[in-house]
Amino acid sequence: MTLRCAVLDDFQNAATTLADWSPLAGRVDVTCFREHFTDEKELARALAEFDIVVTLRERVAFPAPLFAELPRLKLLIASGMRNSVIDHAAAAAHGVTVCGTASSSTPPVELTWALLLGLARGLVTENTALREGGPWQSTVGCDLHGRTLGLLGLGRIGSRVAQVGLAFGMRVLAWSHHLTEERTDEIGVELAASKEDLLAGSDFVSVHLALSERTRALIGAPELALMKPGAYLVNTSRAAIVDQDALLAALHGARIAGAGVDVFDVEPLPADHPMRSAPRLLATPHLGYVSRANYATYYGQAVENIEAFLAGSPVRTLP
């Protein structure tokens, strides 16, 4: 019997163009959904006849009630090897195997610097003016050389962001709850005495922490108040690490020079969301992981996961 596979949130029609699904020909029919399902009941109705689901990152939650609505579901594949919005216990209880894929740290590192550089040199303002007949030069760019970059987190992504900062001639500080001087010495950066010292002393602050109860709302109004009026905040990690209301207030009140944001409390971002109209904000629609090479890995390994599952030997199982 031919199985049915649903691919969720294939906004760019990339799932079947960046990976070879031919090994599944005759065994699995693939349907790609290009529109995001915002309602769980609507999602359940759409997936009711599918045996396999491929979901992108942590955009679609799979709580226990949803599994109960999907009796045919046998295999759920998430891109990346960590997914906090899948109820793994419920999946197991309903006999659903959950698998992941590899995910490169390169795309979010590069996007972090795209946002940071865009903020520093006023690229959106200047590009808009040039295309729309506005003033020829209206901003004065901020130099990176000799400025201080503060990194909240020095893991797989943060350490690579640090290396680029050093190459620009920046002083790089880093802090996280368990960060050691041994680790900062290894990367060639300075260990900040505290989160507060890092925020107060940095010209650019970039967030590279995993979301947990400890890091949720780690940056709120008191922390933003510590930042220099001319400093910039960049978040390509998780929206909940930065209090969204506090960030909006800081941007509207010009308490910081600006922010570069790739992650939001609701995704896709509603048309009337205040982040869409916030001043001093350079925002992208969660592009941190979106690159041709990363998508080729996600969907190529999804095909491998399905093949292994059909052979009775699942690979890359989660959690």
Catalytic positions, please?
238, 267, 286
DSSP 51: S
Is there a contact between 80 and 57 (Cβ–Cβ < 8 Å)? yes
Q: How far is Cα 288 from Cα 115, in angstroms, rounded to an integer?
A: 10
Residue among 63, 178, 165 nearest 112 (CA)? 165
Phi-psi map region of 57: left, alpha, beta (phi>0 left; psi -120 to 50 alpha): left
CB atoms within 10 A of CB 255: 18
Cis peptide before 268 (omega within 30 of 0): yes
What's the token pair of residue 29? 């029919």
User: What secondary structure does DSSP assign to 246-272, as a single string?
Assistant: HHHHHHHTTSSSEEEE---SSSSPPTT
Q: How far is Cα 12 from Cα 9, in angstroms, rounded to an integer?
A: 9
CA 302-308-311 angle, to 5 degrees, is 145
Q: How far is Cα 257 from Cα 204, in angstroms, rounded to an integer?
A: 10
Helix ranges, 54-202 (H): 64-68, 88-93, 106-120, 123-131, 158-167, 181-187, 195-201
**Can you tell me whether residue 173 is helix, strand or coil?**
strand
- According to DSSP, the β-strands at 97-99 and 52-55 are unpaired
